[in-house]
Structure 1
Amino acid sequence: MTPEEIEAAVQAGMPQTIEDLEGLAAIPSVAFPGHPEAPVHEAAAFTERLLRAAGLPYVRQIPIEGSFPAVFAEAPAPPGAPTVLLYAHYDVQPAGDPALWKTPPFEPTRVDGVLYGRGTADDKSGVITHVAALRTFQGRFPVGVKVIIEGQEEYAGERLQHFIEADPELVRADAMVIADVGNPYIGDPALTTSLRGMAAFTVEVRTLAEAVHSGAFGGAAPDALAALMRMLTAMHDEAGDVCVPGLTRGTFSGRGCTEEELRATAGVLDGVSLVGTGSVADRIWASYAITVTGLDVPDVHGAINAVQAVARARVTIRIPPSGDAKTALQDVTDFLRKIAPWGVQVSFSDFVTGAGFRAGAGGRARGAVNHAMAHAFGQAPREVGQGGSIPLVASLSRLFPEAEILLYGAEDDHASIHAPNERVVLDELRRVITAEAIFLSEYAQG
């Protein structure tokens, strides 16, 4: 097929593509503890059906210990053709407060060429990108194809990572496409060449046998919440830079956005300054970042006049590609334990780690995807970094150093992933599908 024929086929298939994405995004496949497991398994089955319908002859669910199943599919390579691994994940972040959504989070809603709903971008658009690109070839694939769609990337992606490390031949390929990132702006094609790793943990502070009256004991009884707040704020200096010993600053050699662009993208309120120093690219792609992502304390609505006996926080660390997640985790927990005031009892639990990634110079696959994206978008892609982490990528890079790993996708910096009102622009999805299908064709031809 010529690039023009591929583009026309993708366009003709868009009604089915959108219907598939709406069906998958309507499933609340939140693979976090405390959420129903049945919808996650439903999303796995839906994904399995989509891959079968795309013409792949071998499709199955693979149990992952301690996690939800991965969906695996493959088609053998034609004689002399390379093999490409396609990755995405079908699980999603929790929706959060429904009141903050303009449309119901698990009722995908189209508005002016945009599809709103949890997971429409991250990362069910990645699943659908692979399905629609493969469907273009009607079962006659120009390359060997392997597909692995993960079921718990958002919470415990290291479990698939461990599974792959125990059976690497399952996913061996010449090129590997990770469709779980995106472009800075709509119509601005990009290849992600740098990923931060991550580490996360829960910290708990205890001070009393139980909460006590703030009038009778406040001012003398140690408040667990006050102690925890002091510990958490000590991890940053006055400028907002991380000041935990061992977590050094990094630099990113490519071009990032300006502070003004970041303010607009992140929705920073007027009069509120950004945090940290150095270029934006250095801060969000090449340096450590520490974020408190949750607190277990009485909410304001149910607050009572009491000194708190226990307080907990969930802390996430973003790790530059040059850093080590386990070392950073140790540095931060040691720091918090050292600075804890008043002799409070401190404990840590629920650890998660994932390594970062930096791409090499690239070869045949990189040339093919550059040409494919230039055709689909009308301009060549630029290199960007991503502050997020994908645990599997670092393992693939280590296990298969000769393979080219390509990261792209239909998300963009305004897609509100992990936030209310997540969305994907359907024209952007079409362009990414077109680019992937052209890439598969041109990579086969060398």
Structure 2
Amino acid sequence: MNTELTRQDAVRDAAASGIPAALADLGTLVRIPSIAFPGFDTTEVQRSAAAVATLVEELGLFETVEIRRAAIPGSDEIGQPAVLASRAARNGRPTILLYAHHDVQPVGDESLWESAPFEPTVRDGRLYGRGAADDKAGVMAHIAALRALKEALGADFDLGVALFIEGEEEAGSRSFAQFLADNADALRADVIVVADSGNWDARTPALTVSLRGNTRFTLRVRTLEHASHSGMFGGAVPDAMMATVKLLATLWDANGAVAVAGLAERDAETPAYSEETLRDEAGLPAGVSPIGRGTILSRIWNKPAITVTGIDAPSVTNASNTLSPEIGVVISARIAPGQSAREAYSALEMHLRAHAPFGAQLTFSEQDHGDAFLVDNSGWAVGAALEAMHEAYGVEPVEIGVGGSIPFIADLVREFPGAQILVTGVEDPHSRAHSPNESLHVETFRNAVLAEALLLEKLDARAGD
């Protein structure tokens, strides 16, 4: 009898039979509006943490399951609650750390949602709801994979497992580094799986091997001591809105490519990816052209990007005939792998100060920086993960770059330099994470759960190095 095949078949059957319960539990988590941003009810984040902790305790696999917080360095604040669980490895087996986050983005304009954002709704093979994909599906992928492993092998397997379900990733992970330092012994692992990325498409799994960094800050542009009548002084006095528009326009060239000296690009080949696919996945309508230069994926994976994500200015409803004295904007820049986020921020600040029109006064505040990430894919865990994905999806997996950022991975690398880091996910290009009508492709979730369960089985069968 082929014992290894028997183990894998048992895991496969257990993963498949556990999907309905996993989706039901995911729906329960989606109903909790766990938004960790300032101004939102953080008791919902606490309620979400408690719900996740209950699911983890019910596994019956961990020696300890706790809800913990860490201080936010440089402030007197404390971070949002995270769930931490651990069980020690035995008989020379490795330890795996499974990461996901239970907090979610705000819903934005609720009128753009086709169903209530915190009421999980299934349509056309997709589960809709805020956090259904990013990242409560990641939480449930871990839990469902562990359930399958337990059902197939029993609770007495030898693999060491640590589980870290964060509560403030969408809000900047401000206490993340301190949490790692405070709980280093419980979190230390040979392999770390970060389930917070995506796949090539709904049918093709992917392992993320590069992520852009990011720098985010608030810029205030001031040109007047107070608001003035636009009829009396317009044409002679610069208003802050005009100065802001002119200043922001200097960040891009005529093609929409970033035009800031000092922002680097990475030279790396990218797979074929058509403009037609871009239009479909991004929702780019006919007549609106893509921006930038080079292959489309090089623009997304390997070049910088700058986006104005928020602006404080008089609304259309409250518009009056006045010259605005001050405008505030939030600027979010994605940084090419290979450049530090702080170096990129310095280049941006220098550019903005040098191009401020009419002597406009600039102030910079609320800075957040996260470095890019490049996977060392020479380790044995990468091969094991790719093999598990192939077995689960029935399709060869793809190694991809991602235009988004997971800044805390730099903290993981720094705290646990010997660990092999695998960035996986349950999203596909139509998941619309962070946007209205966020959704999870149910079949992708099934395959992602099986892939992780098979990976856990492989690691449990592996002798330590």
TM-score range, shorter chain: over 0.9
2:175 alignment partner, SS class: helix
Unmatched runs of 5 consecutive residues or more in structure 2? 1-5, 72-77
Question: How far off is 1:256 after superposition?
Answer: 5.0
User: Do residues 441 (structure 1) and 441 (structure 2) align?
Assistant: no
Q: Verify the 8 A CA contact 1:256 1:384 in the aligned structure 2.
A: no
Distance across 2 between alignment mates of 1:251 and 1:118: 36
Distance across 2 between alignment mates of 1:353 and 1:107: 33
Distance across 2 between alignment mates of 1:154 and 1:233: 28
1:409 alignment partner, SS class: strand
Paired position in structure 1 for 2:39: 34
Paired position in structure 2 for 1:172: 188
User: Do residues 413 (structure 1) and 429 (structure 2) align?
Assistant: yes
**Amino acid aligned to 1:374:** H
**Amino acid aligned to 1:410:** V
Question: How far off is 1:176 after superposition?
Answer: 0.5
Q: 1:254 to 1:165 in 2, by over 3 A?
A: farther
Unmatched runs of 5 consecutive residues or more in structure 1? none
Distance across 1 between alignment mates of 2:297 and 2:409: 21
User: Do residues 5 (structure 1) and 10 (structure 2) align?
Assistant: yes
Question: How far off is 1:361 after superposition?
Answer: 2.4
Paired position in structure 1 for 2:242: 226
Q: Deviations over 1:299-322 (max 9, x none)?
A: 112211111111000000111120
1:408 alignment partner, SS class: strand
User: Do residues 120 (structure 1) and 132 (structure 2) align?
Assistant: yes
Distance across 1 between alignment mates of 2:294 and 2:202: 26
Paired position in structure 2 for 1:196: 212
Q: Verify the 8 A CA contact 2:91 2:158 in the aligned structure 1.
A: no
Paired position in structure 2 for 1:108: 120
Distance across 1 between alignment mates of 2:26 and 2:64: 22
Question: How far off is 1:399 after superposition?
Answer: 3.2
Paired position in structure 2 for 1:313: 329
Question: How far off is 1:354 after superposition?
Answer: 0.8
- Please say which of residues 293-302 and 248-257 is displaced more in the overlay: 248-257
**Amino acid aligned to 1:209:** E
Distance across 1 between alignment mates of 2:103 and 2:442: 20
Distance across 1 between alignment mates of 2:143 and 2:321: 56
Distance across 2 between alignment mates of 1:61 and 1:193: 31
Distance across 2 between alignment mates of 1:188 and 1:86: 22
Distance across 1 between alignment mates of 2:12 and 2:162: 23
- Please say which of residues 82-91 and 224-233 is displaced more in the overlay: 224-233
Q: 1:201 to 1:144 in 2, by over 3 A?
A: same
User: Do residues 431 (structure 1) and 423 (structure 2) align?
Assistant: no
1:294 alignment partner, SS class: strand
- Please say which of residues 108-117 and 397-406 is displaced more in the overlay: 397-406
Question: How far off is 1:33 after superposition?
Answer: 1.2
Distance across 1 between alignment mates of 2:104 and 2:157: 29
**For residues 206-217 of structure 1, what are the structure 2 equivalents within 5 Å?**
206-217=222-233
Distance across 2 between alignment mates of 1:213 and 1:255: 55
**Amino acid aligned to 2:384:** A
Paired position in structure 2 for 1:61: 67
Taking structure 1 as the reference length, the TM-score comes to 0.97
Q: Verify the 8 A CA contact 1:120 1:424 in the aligned structure 2.
A: yes
Question: How far off is 1:166 after superposition?
Answer: 5.7
Paired position in structure 1 for 2:20: 15
Distance across 1 between alignment mates of 2:388 and 2:138: 17
Q: Deviations over 1:107-127 (max 9, x none)?
A: 111123311001100111110
- Please say which of residues 244-253 and 426-435 is displaced more in the overlay: 244-253
User: Do residues 299 (structure 1) and 312 (structure 2) align?
Assistant: no
Q: Verify the 8 A CA contact 1:362 1:404 in the aligned structure 2.
A: no
Paired position in structure 1 for 2:417: 401
Q: Verify the 8 A CA contact 2:45 2:81 in the aligned structure 1.
A: no
Question: How far off is 1:137 after superposition?
Answer: 2.7
Paired position in structure 2 for 1:99: 111
Q: Verify the 8 A CA contact 2:115 2:121 in the aligned structure 1.
A: yes
User: Do residues 84 (structure 1) and 96 (structure 2) align?
Assistant: yes
Distance across 2 between alignment mates of 1:194 and 1:249: 13
- The size of the alignment, in residue pairs, is 446
**Amino acid aligned to 1:82:** P
**Amino acid aligned to 1:22:** G
Taking structure 2 as the reference length, the TM-score comes to 0.93
